[in-house]
């Protein structure tokens, strides 16, 4: 009865991802761009929900919509943003670029739409327990390496922005 809901929500999220993503590239108001990037990330979380990966969707909201957007907004606030013309937009080689892009994009689109769904039903819902088992049992060492990477990034960011004090 509610079979139409899944394609409907897919269309909604796809519109959010592609529309907001294109606006991030094209717009020239930096704060609006950052917030539209957050909208892209939120729509992506909806895509993950449609795919049945609830835990990944939760991480997406926490890390991307929350942390990374706030970090980018701080970066916007700490630097002076001035309006400048587009770097390479709308020059005379645009038709050639469009033709070349079409040549590359058509095979990619064909390839993307040629994937066939498996005949067996995919696992529905509840991916927290299998994900946790896989992450903490089979991939414990990469998990620990990831924590070291985060520590290195934390220390590196502080060292980079620390002012020299005589």
Partner 1 sequence: MTVPLGAFIAVSAALFFIGAAGVLVRRNAVVILMCVELMLNASNLALVAFSRRAGELGAGNPLDQRGSVFVVFVFVVAAAEVAVGLAIILAAYRNRPTVNVDEIHDLKG
* 39 is an interface residue for partner 1 by CB under 8 A: no
Written as one string, the DSSP assignment of 19-84 is HHHHHHHH---HHHHHHHHHHHHHHHHHHHHHTT-HHHHHHIIIIIIIIIHHHHHHHHHHS-----
**Residue 8 beta carbon to partner 1: minimum distance, rounded to whole angstroms:** 10
- Would you give the binding string for partner 1 spanning residues 68-97, x where CB under 8 A is met? x--xx-xxx-xxxxx-x-xxxx--------
Give the nearer residue to partner 1 in terms of CB position, either 82 or 165. Answer: 82
Q: Which of 12, 98, 100, 109 binds partner 1 (CB under 8 A)?
A: 109
Q: How do the residues of the chain divide into helix, strand and coil, expressed in percent and rounded to 5?
A: 75, 0, 25
x/- string (CB under 8 A) for partner 1, residues 2-21? -xx-xx--x---x--xx--x
Binding mask 124-163 for partner 1 (x = CB under 8 A): ---x--xx-xxx--xx--x---x--xx-xxx-xxx-xx--
Asked whether the beta carbons of 35 and 16 are under 8 A apart, the reply is no
């Amino acid at each position: 009865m509610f079979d139409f809901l899944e394609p409907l929500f897919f269309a909604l999220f796809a519109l959010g991802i592609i529309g907001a993503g294109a606006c991030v590239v094209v717009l020239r108001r930096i704060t609006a761009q950052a917030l539209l990037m957050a909208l892209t990330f939120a729509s992506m979380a909806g895509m993950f929900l449609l795919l049945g990966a609830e835990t990944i969707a939760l991480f997406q909201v926490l890390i991307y919509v929350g942390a990374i957007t706030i970090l980018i907004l701080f970066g916007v606030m700490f630097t002076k943003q001035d309006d400048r013309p587009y770097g390479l937009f709308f020059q005379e080689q645009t038709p050639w670029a469009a033709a070349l892009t079409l040549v590359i994009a058509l095979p990619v689109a064909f390839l993307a739409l040629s994937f066939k769904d498996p005949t067996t039903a995919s696992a529905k819902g509840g991916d927290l327990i299998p994900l946790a088992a896989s992450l903490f049992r089979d991939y414990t060492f990469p998990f620990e390496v990831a924590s070291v990477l985060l520590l290195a990034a934390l220390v590196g960011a502080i060292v980079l922005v620390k002012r020299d004090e005589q």
